[in-house]
């Protein structure tokens, strides 16, 4: 599992810890729950929705042209 570091003041961490401990949670558990809630609330797109957002007439960028012109790795 990836780890994330969040810097908050000691006073805020203490206040949150007291409130969360009263509800049977640790600060780390609370952050993990909030992250999971955020991930679940994000809209998921179908391939069709993503393709429909594309503009087939859009010009290629210099980076795209360079990539397309590069030799394949066989």
pLDDT in tens, 11-56: 998 898 899 999 899 888 888 888 888 888 888 889 999 999 999 8
In the predicted structure, residue 2 carries a pLDDT above the cut 70: no
Q: How far is CA 39 from the centre of its chain?
A: 8
Q: How is 5-69 classified by DSSP, letter by letter?
A: -----HHHHHHHHHHHHHTT--HHHHHHHHHHHHHHHSPP--HHHHHHT--TTSPPPHHHHHHHH
Q: What is the pLDDT of residues 6-21, one digit of tens each?
A: 788 999 988 988 999 9
Q: Are 17 and 27 in contact (CB under 8 A)?
A: yes
Stated pTM of the model:
0.43
pLDDT value at residue 74 = 65
């Amino acid at each position: 599992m990836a780890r994330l570091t969040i810097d908050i003041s000691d006073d805020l961490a203490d206040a949150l810890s007291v409130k969360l401990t009263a509800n049977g949670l640790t600060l780390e558990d609370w952050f993990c729950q909030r992250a999971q809630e955020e991930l679940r609330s994000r809209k998921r797109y179908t391939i069709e929705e993503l393709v429909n957002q594309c503009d087939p007439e859009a010009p290629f960028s210099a980076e795209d042209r360079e990539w397309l012109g590069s030799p394949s790795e066989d």
